[in-house]
A and B are shown apart, each in its own frame.
Chain A
Amino acid sequence: MLKPLEHLKIINNRLLLIKLIGHFPRLTWLAMQLARPLYVDHETFLNRTLRYGMMTLGAGKLPPEEVKAYVTGFNAMRENFKRAMQAQKDGVPLVWVQWILSSEIVAAFGARSLNAELLNVFGNVVGWEAPSKLIAEAEAIGVPVEYCSALKTSIGAYVLGQTPEPDLIVRASQPCDTSISSYQIMEYLTGAPAFTFDAPYWKDEPSFDYYEKVMWDFVAFMEHHLGRKIDWDKLREIINNVNDFNFYLHEVTEMMRATPCPCSMITLLMQWVMREITIGDPAITASAKEVYDVVKARYEKGEGIVKKEKIRVIWWNPPFAFFTYIFKWMEHQFGAVVVNDFIGQCQMPQIDTSSNESMIRDLAKSHLYLAMGRQCHGPVEYITDELKRALEAFNADCIIFAGHNGCQHGWAIGRIFKDICKKAKLPVLILNADIMDQRHMPEKEIMREITEFFRSTGLA
């Protein structure tokens, strides 16, 4: 029987630990290197609540200067979780912001935001089976088994008391039907007033016009429910941070075209997670700057993230939340670097802060460029054009498609995806897995399939 918010408390404790050891990044890096035999191979009773964190921090394979950047961002996330848990006690409204959206407006109202999907990723801190148990709980109460597991985790977490009660919910009509459907269940279960960001299908001016109006409606919704006005100066300050954050990550994304590739994809992905949790926070912008500085220095020296880059990989579809170490493992084991992916690469447009109107317009527009939303809210070309551009620009040797069980619209275009890969004459590995639930395909099996793939195609 779980105690209320037990998972979140454990996660916060572990993040606190990272904060403490983060003062000594080189020592942390060395300790993780030396202790590798104790945790890298598999989870045990002893390493259960430490392993995921250490693996995400590269298990001693991520340079210390990057570890430092991670720690800066992790501290900001820890603060977000802590503030969310205390919101009720502090009398501050807590707004659940769906992972496909962004929380700038919520912060500009002085409310606290919580990404209700956070346990998809951070649940693994508690142990590998924690997200699976949340999924099983959701299924046990009647949530459709064919839902995307990302949302099943959120429902399971809520009914097991692992997510703080929301005062308001902000949800989206993209990227998929699970998103549309599950957030109706969330509204029903929590009873909290919900606002829907109804994403247009196209990315054209009339669609941006519509979405801009949706953003204004959201401001009105917040004003109505919170009984206060938006603080425009605060929003401007937040957006300036967002613009800086996006600039750094956009630059890193571009630098990853270089051979050798100067950055590990897990670093960009972790930045994306930080964005998901607490965008606009100066601390995560600082983290992005640290990453940028480190990667730029490597890029200018012509250094890669691995000493000898042998394979350049495009990773399509979201990564495995439970196996963040996969990228470092591929680098370490095969000299295989993921140079471009579906989620980590940053394509966010800059937001014009010259007026309140321009901020709202561009903020709405930028929401349509957030990872996954950017590709999935419209026709297949929003996915395939991006893939084609990546194939042209990143000099890849192969593609790994992390097939996700509940992604019905994604699998529906499998034939189109395969045809593009065939035309590009690149080997493709299609993994039939679940990105949140490793009961479908565990770490070992993923590693085995990738190993077989590299060997059978002559890449390794």
Chain B
Amino acid sequence: MNILDIIQQSAGKTLNDYLMTAKASGQRIMGYFCAYVPEEIIHAAGYVPYRMRAVQSSGTTLGDTWFSSINCTFVRHVFDKVLRHDFDFLDGIIFSNGCDHLRRVYDNWRYAGVQTPFLHMFITPHVINDNANRQYLHECLNLKEVLEKHSGITISDQALKNSVRLYNRKRSLLNELYELRKAKAIPIKGSEFLSLMLTVTAVPVENAIEILEQVLIEIKGRDTTRPGDVRIFMAAGHMEEIDHLELLEGCGAAIAGDNLCMGLRHFDGQADETGDALAALADRYLNHMSCPRMINDFQRRLDHVKQTFKDYAIDAVILEKMKFCDLWGGEAFIWRNELKKTDIPILVLERELYGGSTGQIRTRLQAFFEQVRNRQVHDDFVQAAGKIYRLK
């Protein structure tokens, strides 16, 4: 089995083989919910950080007894799995105030009497500025302290620095992979990249680094694109449905750039390894490419998509929001208006996590791609980082 097959297999499981091995060897596993939770502190405390997901969910029947029909399907699926004991292997959970749906998981988790040894709410400010940076640092210190208290250990500066170094390595490998998508011949499909993300956010970081190094070797010289593919920038909140991206690709998409939870936002920016580790983490986590929960940063997100459009020779943008996600709904409004001004085609899709509707989505995609193709001239000589050649 090659590495891409392995990651595809791992991505589809709640508890993958790497994690099982880690657990068997006595390593503890800590679930966490959001790209704003600093994995390094969890790692330095001796846990394997595990990004929460709803893969292998059998539905939302139990989750719906705690959440309402106007809550997003991600939390309903996850909570369903919680109540079905799918996450009993976790030694703790770090919640987040990422959004309204997510912050109420913390509340329902406690009231539902789920027996998890450690629960902690990690608070990320909703703005990016100096004051928020100090507040985030305070949260990091607090997380370090509660983990130390719970585990009965002391997280040394050296341990923290070591974690920062490892996670920086992981991020730099992911960045390297991401940047390969600039090329005309994209060596890794969007769906494969998502599988990879699902895997490397649910295995020990040391394994993640090995996997990424192998993937970089494996995909060398590969071209996953087909003639006529539309180069897509994907933006969304939580996304974990590999088959959904395969559907996009099946309709002619080549995903070349993104702003996803399980994408760029996870690995954008590095933590400074020279100074105080916690301060470096605060700096990195608060300032990485933001999601729309950050109120005062929509201009940077717009600039990013526009810049990526140029740098990655993007043809069109697909922004996906999960039903009842206000944050991405508002972002879609701004992007739709702003990208129209700069003549960047955008399709806004709404979906439920594992919600099906493939026929409907396929039709919308086909129509959109046709529209995009009609706007452009396919040219074999389009440079990877180059311009889009349009009909005058």
Q: Which of B71, B321, B333 has the most CB of A within 10 A?
A: B333
- Report B-chain residues with C-beta under 8 Å of the C-beta of A442: none
A contact set with B: CB distance below 8 Å: 141-144, 146-148, 171, 173, 176-178, 180-185, 187-188, 194, 196, 198, 200-202, 206, 210, 213-214, 217, 379-380, 405-406, 408-409, 411-416, 419
Tell which of B66, B70, B125, B295 touches A146, judged by Cβ atoms closer than 8 Å: B70
Q: Which of A141, A198, A380 has the most CB of B within 10 A?
A: A198
Chain B positions 299 through 316: 1 when the CB is less than 8 Å from some CB of chain A, otherwise 0? 000000000000000000
Tell which of B65, B121, B126, B292 touches A196, judged by Cβ atoms closer than 8 Å: B126
Tell which of A142, A185, A217, A409 touches B100, judged by Cβ atoms closer than 8 Å: A409
Tell me if B104 and A413 are in contact (CB < 8 A).
Answer: yes
Tell me if B67 and A181 are in contact (CB < 8 A).
Answer: no
Tell me if A201 and B108 are in contact (CB < 8 A).
Answer: no
Tell me if A142 and B99 are in contact (CB < 8 A).
Answer: no
Q: List 10 A-B contacts (CB under 8 A).
A: A147-B329, A177-B326, A184-B295, A198-B125, A210-B138, A217-B129, A409-B100, A411-B70, A413-B108, A416-B107
Tell me if B131 and A214 are in contact (CB < 8 A).
Answer: yes
Once the chains are docked, how many angstroms separate the CA of A184 from the CA of B330? 8
Residue of B nearest to A147 (CB): B326
**Chain A to chain B: the 5 pairs with minimum beta-carbon distance, closest first:** A144-B329, A181-B330, A411-B68, A412-B104, A173-B126
Tell me if A188 and B104 are in contact (CB < 8 A).
Answer: no
Tell me how far the C-beta of B42 lies from the nearest C-beta in chain A, rounded to whole angstroms: 19
Q: Which of B311-355 touch A at CB < 8 Å? A: 321, 323-327, 329-334, 336-338
Tell me if B68 and A176 are in contact (CB < 8 A).
Answer: no
- Report A-chain residues with C-beta under 8 Å of the C-beta of B101: 408-409, 412
Tell me how far the C-beta of A99 lies from the nearest C-beta in chain B, rounded to whole angstroms: 16
Once the chains are docked, how many angstroms separate the CA of A419 from the CA of B70? 20
- Report B-chain residues with C-beta under 8 Å of the C-beta of A176: 100, 326
- Report B-chain residues with C-beta under 8 Å of the C-beta of A182: 326, 330
Tell me if A181 and B326 are in contact (CB < 8 A).
Answer: yes
Once the chains are docked, how many angstroms separate the CA of A185 from the CA of B68? 26
- Does residue B298 face the partner (Cβ distance < 8 Å to A)? yes
Residue of B nearest to A143 (CB): B333
Once the chains are docked, how many angstroms separate the CA of A202 from the CA of B135? 12
Tell me how far the C-beta of B14 lies from the nearest C-beta in chain A, rounded to whole angstroms: 23
Whether A188 touches B334, Cβ cut-off 8 Å, given contacts A379-B106, A412-B101, is yes
- Report B-chain residues with C-beta under 8 Å of the C-beta of A177: 99-100, 293, 325-327
Tell me if A142 and B336 are in contact (CB < 8 A).
Answer: yes
Q: Which of B99, B123, B330 has the most CB of A within 10 A?
A: B330
Tell me how far the C-beta of B257 lies from the nearest C-beta in chain A, rounded to whole angstroms: 22
Tell me if B65 and A146 are in contact (CB < 8 A).
Answer: no
Whether A198 touches B126, Cβ cut-off 8 Å, given contacts A146-B70, A408-B326, A419-B111, is yes
Once the chains are docked, how many angstroms separate the CA of A393 from the CA of B111? 24
Tell me how far the C-beta of A417 lies from the nearest C-beta in chain B, rounded to whole angstroms: 10
- Report B-chain residues with C-beta under 8 Å of the C-beta of A183: 295
Whether A184 touches B334, Cβ cut-off 8 Å, given contacts A147-B326, A198-B126, A409-B100, is yes
- Does residue B127 face the partner (Cβ distance < 8 Å to A)? yes
Whether A412 touches B326, Cβ cut-off 8 Å, given contacts A144-B332, A196-B296, A198-B127, is no
Tell me if B326 and A415 are in contact (CB < 8 A).
Answer: no
- Does residue B97 face the partner (Cβ distance < 8 Å to A)? yes
Tell me if A144 and B333 are in contact (CB < 8 A).
Answer: yes
**A-B contact sample (5 more), CB < 8 A, given A185-B334, A408-B324:** A144-B329, A196-B296, A408-B72, A411-B67, A412-B71
Tell me if A217 and B131 are in contact (CB < 8 A).
Answer: yes
Tell me if B295 and A411 are in contact (CB < 8 A).
Answer: no
- Report B-chain residues with C-beta under 8 Å of the C-beta of A380: 104, 107, 111
- Report A-chain residues with C-beta under 8 Å of the C-beta of B331: 181, 184
Tell which of A144, A171, A412 touches B68, judged by Cβ atoms closer than 8 Å: A412
Tell me if B100 and A415 are in contact (CB < 8 A).
Answer: no
Residue of A nearest to B350 (CB): A144
Tell me how far the C-beta of B5 lies from the nearest C-beta in chain A, rounded to whole angstroms: 39
Chain B positions 128 through 164: 1 when the CB is less than 8 Å from some CB of chain A, otherwise 0? 0101101100100000000000000000000000000
Residue of A nearest to B72 (CB): A408
Tell me if B295 and A415 are in contact (CB < 8 A).
Answer: no
